[in-house]
Structure 1
């Protein structure tokens, strides 16, 4: 390729500032490069809570955002995942103690489907019944949190540590705990995707009913 062709390609491309949602104060997450705005839709960018809040103590929390809208010189995102780093989680494990975790998928009040994965670390080894009871508390409180909150509110409760604190407060009455964290929160489906899945499921049920009646 000639130098002139390369020069034309560079002139045709531009940088876009990638911005976090209003929930994260439109913080600048980085930059992305493209010759056409349409080409940056759906791109994801990963950062840490520490970088957004300028707090190195929060660098163990990874946040992932996806570009959903593009302006003249900026790309706007939605939040899609919160995850603790493996190194941080590994540092919480102690020999002779229990690690209790569960994955629970819930629907928020504004119909976002989200999976949350709380994890608890005990001070000593818990028995099976105690671990099961702790998991039950996790499931109940995660479901309750989603039932009472919008997607944005649920994310806030995880990022700010309020949901993990609530789980800790109840679960510690079952067995002494050292720490509780939400190790991962993942957006699985937006409201329109949930609605489409439900509509498809209704159509399938209707077809099955028609087949049964014909039989």
Structure 2
């Protein structure tokens, strides 16, 4: 004889859970970015929420910047987060690639002044094709500048430099004397730690 489905228990399980509104850090305006559900608020800590900078800033021009936030504490029905990294969308990155030009990537691993171990990917797009020695020189400058910047600043300052574009502008000023450069982007950042994906 077939067993009856225990629908009642499943409904009771969902009723036992609560919804929590998730907020980005104060540095991003404490904007709500959505809601998440849990039976116990303690289970929310460590959960990762994703959105775009365009949604946070209400600026469509920044929709290509994907942001990740990890819930760090819960108070009542509000969950508060910390920023743990970003990534530019693949469509946006493809739009930056032009024929007969060079793309130069530099991967920076380092620790910030406040002890955050981070990984950054910085990409340079040239106006014309560069040879191997020019690529090596450009990558060397980007790596040296970014390694020093990370070591001399806290994570909040690094994040501000990424979001405002000041890091990209400063790198461009340093590199354009070597070779004609069209654009420099910090295409990805993340804190090197284990997180629970929602």
How high is the TM-score relative to the length of structure 1?
Answer: 0.84
The Cα of 1:2 is off from its aligned counterpart by 4.7
> What is the aligned partner in structure 1 of residue 133 from structure 2?
129
SS at match of 2:30: coil
For residues 70-149 of structure 1, the aligned pairs below 5 Å read 70-149=74-153
CA distance, structure 2, for counterparts of residue 35 and residue 110 of structure 1: 34
> What is the aligned partner in structure 1 of residue 21 from structure 2?
17
> What is the aligned partner in structure 1 of residue 191 from structure 2?
187
Higher relative contact order (CA 8 A, sep 6+): 2
Q: Which runs of 5+ in 2 are unaligned?
A: none
CA distance, structure 1, for counterparts of residue 53 and residue 63 of structure 2: 6
CA distance, structure 2, for counterparts of residue 189 and residue 12 of structure 1: 31
CA distance, structure 2, for counterparts of residue 148 and residue 180 of structure 1: 21
CA distance, structure 2, for counterparts of residue 128 and residue 3 of structure 1: 65
Q: Tell which structure's C-alpha radius of gyration is larger.
A: 1
The Cα of 1:4 is off from its aligned counterpart by 4.1
Structure with the higher helix share, 1 or 2 = 1
Structure with the higher strand share, 1 or 2 = 2
CA distance, structure 2, for counterparts of residue 98 and residue 170 of structure 1: 18
Q: Which runs of 5+ in 1 are unaligned?
A: 191-215
Deviations 1:131-176 (A, max 9, x none): 1111011111111211221111111111110111111111111110
CA distance, structure 1, for counterparts of residue 101 and residue 168 of structure 2: 19
Indicate the RMSD between aligned Cα atoms, in angstroms: 1.4
The Cα of 1:7 is off from its aligned counterpart by 4.0
> What is the aligned partner in structure 2 of residue 55 from structure 1?
59
CA distance, structure 1, for counterparts of residue 148 and residue 6 of structure 2: 62
Please say if residues 112 and 189 of structure 1, whose CA atoms lie closer than 8 Å, have aligned partners that are also in contact. Answer: no
Deviations 1:179-214 (A, max 9, x none): 110001111149xxxxxxxxxxxxxxxxxxxxxxxx
Please say if residues 84 and 184 of structure 1, whose CA atoms lie closer than 8 Å, have aligned partners that are also in contact. Answer: yes
Number of aligned residues: 190
